[in-house]
Amino acid sequence: MLYPQLLAADFARLPRALREFHSAPRGGRASGKAVVTNSNRWLAWLLGFPPSGENIPLQLEVQTNGNREIWIRQFGDVILQTSQRQEGNLLLEARGPVRIFFRIFADENGMRFQSQRASFWIIPLPLQVEARVRGDESSWEVDVTVGRIGSYHGALVPVP
């Protein structure tokens, strides 16, 4: 399980919904709604970011594969799939040749993801990604901003 490993003792501080979702041995599923805003429509389209909209159906599926997780986010008809794994004390999230390394900070409210570096294959990218996940006993909200490309806010509940 990736997140308990990455967060170590801080994992126990997370809200129950996040602890349970991230400690499920076979991954998990959640659903909800999202608001997506594109800052640059052309770049968003090029990178597979969902189009702008409100009240967009959001589905999340996480599949575990050894020390790696496959994250499948579906915004309406648009699927955004990434893989995540631990790289030292950082989370590495990859989509095709794009790789983003995050430092994760956890507390009793949730997690904050701060990008440390990004690359396209081995070429450094000037891309900043910020994400925050806030949870409670039964659900969570996520806010993600991807550089000058766009952002999304979503509310999710686990699906059994």
- Tell me the one-letter amino acid at 10: D
CA neighbor of 31 nearest in space, from 52, 62, 65: 62
**pLDDT band for position 28 (cuts 50, 70, 90):** very high
- 75-105: per-residue pLDDT in tens? 999 999 999 999 999 999 999 999 999 999 9
**What is the pLDDT at residue 11?**
98
Could you tell me the residue range of the domain that residue 100 belongs to? 2-159
CA neighbor of 60 nearest in space, from 133, 146, 147: 133
Provide the β-strand partners of residue 105.
112
Whether 47 shows a pLDDT value over 90: the answer reads no
Percent of the chain residues past pLDDT 90, beyond the cut: 94
Sign of CA dihedral 55, 118, 44, 159: negative
Domains identified in the chain, total number: 1
Q: Please state, in angstroms and rounded to a whole number, the distance separating the CA atoms of residues 63 and 25.
A: 9
CATH number at residue 18: 2.40.128.20
